Each structure stands twice: as C-alpha cells, then as structure tokens.
C-alpha cells in the first residue's frame, strides 16, 4: 500500500479486512451491535491518526485494539447511568482482561461462521446472519438471493443476534466430536458465499472476487480442520469453478458462456489441485452432493475443448446427484447436459416439464435455457418470449446485456 494516500489506504483496509476485524471484535465483545459500533469508531479514528502518525505495520491489529478500547469507553459511559451497572462492570472487567493476538484474526471468521450456524439458531436465520456479518452482504442482497422480503430477512437476523447474546452461544470452532452435526450448515453457508461472488445476484459486476477468495480461504481452513470427503468436495468444487474466472468475462466485462470460453485462460494450477482433491475424496466413500458437483466440474475442466466434453458421463453424474438431492435447479442443469448429449428437443421437453409443474417460474436461467433450446430448434418466437421473460427476472447487468444481445441476434 505504500504510495497510496492515507484515505485510500484506510478504504482499502476496510474493503479487504473489515469483516475479519469485525469477527474478532464480536468474539472479544460478545455483542454484534457493540462490535459493529466499535469497528466504525476504529476506522474513523484511523483516518485521523494515520494521517498524523503514518499507517501502522499491522493495520488489522491496530484497528482491533482501537475498536476494543472504544468499546470499553462506551461500556464505562453506560455503567455510570445504567440500572444494570453490575453486569456492565463484569463485562468491562472480562473485556479488559481478555487476551488476543493478531494471529487470532485469521481464524475468527471461521469461528464466527460456526457461531452463526449454531443449532440453537433457527435454520432459516443461520445463512442470512452469516452472509450479513461475515461477508458484509446487505439485507437487500440477501433477500434477493432467498427470494424474500428485506424486512423478513432483517427480522431473522435481529432475532438470531438476540439468541446468540441471550443464550451466550460461544464464539468458537466446535470440538471434533461436535463438528459433524454442525458441518452441513457451515458447508452450505460457505458455498452460498462463493456463489454470490462467482455470479453476483445483482449489480454491475458479474464476479465479486473478494467473496470467492474468502470462501476458498474458509474452505481450506475447514479441510485442515476436518478432511472429510464432503469438505474436500466443496473445496474442489470452488477451486474448479474459480479456475474458469479469467475466461468468464471479456475485457469489457461482458459475460462469456462456458462453451465459448477460451480454455487456455483457465487456471491450470487450480484445476490440478481441484481434480486431485475430488479424486481423493471419491476414494474415501461417504461422499455426497458437493463431491458429485465437483466431479461434474472436473469433467468440464479436463475437456480440452467444449466439443470434447464427456456429456454421457456428466449426465450420469447428474442422475446420481438428482437421486441424492432432488431439486428443480439440478433438474435444469441435467436438462442442459442431456440437450448436449441428445439434442435441444430433449432438453426443451425436460425444461417445459419443470415449468409446467410450477417450479422455477421466477428463475431467469430456466427461461434462458428454454430460449436457447428454442433458438437451436428454429422456434424464434418462442425463443424471444423466453428471453424477454429472463430479461425481466435478472438483476445482474452483464447477464442483462448478454440476453439483450441474444434478442438482437433474433432480429
């Protein structure tokens, strides 16, 4: 960061490290709202102090320490007037005596994820709370991802925070004996974080690299902690998808679909690592949906060209995945694979069956798939209608432009 103006350096630290710092402050303070307040106080002080004294060697540690002292000051002020003075004094004493080091900051987000996914919390609150507190997604972004109202998501998050506070849920990674029952929620959260980064639900950019990078970092930590097949499968899946990132958009930010990507741009190192991980996981048995999805991604990654993709193998893997996890989205992906193996009419029949059941009616990719099949079959009016519906549903600018280009091509 040397050479950058101090204001820009503060903004960069906030962008890259504020959620790690917040996670540490939440653990130290035991209170989400107090930690959020302390975080913003610390960055406010940083703007002034770093201008005068220079940027410290360890900015994160400086910000955690400053935020902690600001929280102590706030608690002292409250203790003077509050009826619950003994409780505040006890909280102050515990906070002043708490030990921490800069190394703690690296693992605190993983601790916070396990806290947010604690079984004492309502299942429908765990993921929104994690996406809000760990990943800094807004309530509106989370609501769109879950097709819910922002007010509903906000209420879930508030109730979950209160439950953590009142039940004194600890900020820690569970013991090895406790891990298996807590693992499903954590894997689901990490994958949702990755997906939001890999294909943002809304906005001008297709990719949020900060989220994909953070999800992969958390996945690596989890593999070190618990090298189970599904943990390894999730990390492999994220690595294999991430390997395509350089080829997914043009220099101007336009979306490039899988079969049109320049595969020489794919990251060979990530492909090698991901394929090795999934091979190891599959030999261990007890694998589930993340391993199966990673195996599908590996088949794509190992094909030198789109035309050489082993579609029968991919369809077979989707068959197994669909039996393990019945889902209309998986059915849609399977339909796309079958269209590659058996032709667009076969894919169209399957997609129409999903829509006729009343499923995926608000999912833009279902209409994009239908449009593509109709286009290949020369049914241009049906293709136009499906792409127009997809355009109504998507909230991401690169996808909107991609669909608009397809509509122009029909003309």
pLDDT, one tens digit per residue, over 179-217 is 777 788 889 888 988 988 888 776 677 788 878 888 898
Cα–Cα dist 15/9, whole Å: 10
- The number of residues in the chain equals 411
Q: What is the mean pLDDT of residues 274-282?
A: 96
Structure tokens at 99: 């030990």
Domain 337-411 classified CATH 3.30.460?
no
More confident residue, 99 or 333: 333
Q: Return the top range by mean pLDDT from 71-80, 119-128, 341-350, 398-407.
A: 341-350
Helix 179-198 with 229-242: angle, nearest 10 deg: 10
pLDDT, one tens digit per residue, over 125-163 is 988 898 888 877 888 878 876 667 899 999 999 999 999
Angle at 234 between CA 231 and CA 237, to 5 degrees: 150
Residue with tokens 């320049």: 262
pLDDT at 382 over 70: yes
Whole-number mean pLDDT of the chain?
Answer: 87
Cα–Cα dist 142/128, whole Å: 6
pLDDT, position 105:
47
pLDDT, one tens digit per residue, over 236-262 is 999 999 999 999 999 888 899 999 999
Domain ranges for the chain: 1-102, 103-225, 227-309, 337-411
Cα–Cα dist 42/61, whole Å: 11
Cα–Cα dist 279/233, whole Å: 9
Q: What is the mean pLDDT of residues 352-361?
A: 96
pLDDT, position 3:
58
First to last CA, the chain: 50
Contact 186, 54 (CB under 8 A): no
């Amino acid at each position: 960061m040397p050479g950058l103006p101090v204001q820009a350096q503060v903004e960069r630290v906030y962008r890259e490290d504020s959620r790690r710092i917040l996670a540490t402050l939440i653990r130290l303070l035991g209170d989400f709202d107090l930690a959020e307040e302390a975080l913003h106080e610390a960055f406010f002080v940083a703007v002034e102090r770093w201008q005068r004294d220079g940027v410290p060697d360890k900015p994160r540690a400086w910000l955690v320490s400053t935020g902690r002292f600001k929280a102590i000051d706030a608690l002292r002020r409250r203790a003077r007037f509050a009826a619950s003075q003994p409780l505040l004094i006890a909280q102050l004493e515990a906070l002043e005596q708490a030990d921490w080091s800069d190394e703690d900051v690296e693992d605190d987000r993983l601790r916070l994820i396990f806290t947010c996914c604690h079984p004492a919390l309502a299942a429908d609150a765990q993921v929104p709370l994690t996406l809000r507190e760990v990943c800094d997604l807004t309530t509106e972004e989370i609501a769109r991802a879950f097709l819910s109202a922002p007010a509903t998501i906000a209420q879930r998050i508030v109730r979950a925070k209160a439950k953590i506070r009142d039940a004194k849920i600890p900020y820690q990674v569970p013991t090895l004996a406790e891990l298996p029952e807590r693992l499903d929620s954590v894997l689901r959260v990490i994958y949702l974080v990755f997906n939001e980064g890999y294909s943002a639900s809304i906005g001008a950019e297709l990719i949020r690299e900060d989220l994909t990078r953070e999800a992969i970092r958390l996945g690596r930590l989890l593999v070190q902690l618990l090298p189970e097949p599904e943990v390894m499968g999730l990390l492999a899946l994220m690595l294999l998808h991430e390997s395509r990132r350089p080829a997914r958009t043009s220099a101007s930010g336009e979306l490039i679909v899988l079969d049109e990507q320049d595969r020489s741009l794919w990251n060979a190192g990530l492909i090698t690592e991901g394929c090795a991980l999934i091979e190891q996981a599959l030999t261990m048995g007890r694998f589930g949906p993340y391993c199966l999805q990673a195996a599908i991604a590996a088949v794509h990654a190992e094909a030198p060209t789109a035309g050489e993709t082993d579609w029968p193998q991919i369809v077979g893997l989707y068959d197994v995945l669909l039996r393990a996890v019945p889902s209309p989205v998986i059915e849609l992906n399977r339909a796309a694979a079958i269209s590659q193996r058996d032709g667009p009419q076969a894919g169209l029949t399957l997609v129409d069956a999903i829509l006729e059941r009343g499923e995926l009616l608000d999912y833009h990719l279902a209409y994009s798939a239908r449009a593509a099949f109709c286009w290949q079959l020369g049914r241009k009016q049906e293709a136009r209608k499906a792409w127009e519906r997809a355009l109504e549903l998507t909230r991401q600018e690169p996808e909107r432009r991609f669909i608009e280009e397809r509509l122009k091509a029909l003309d």
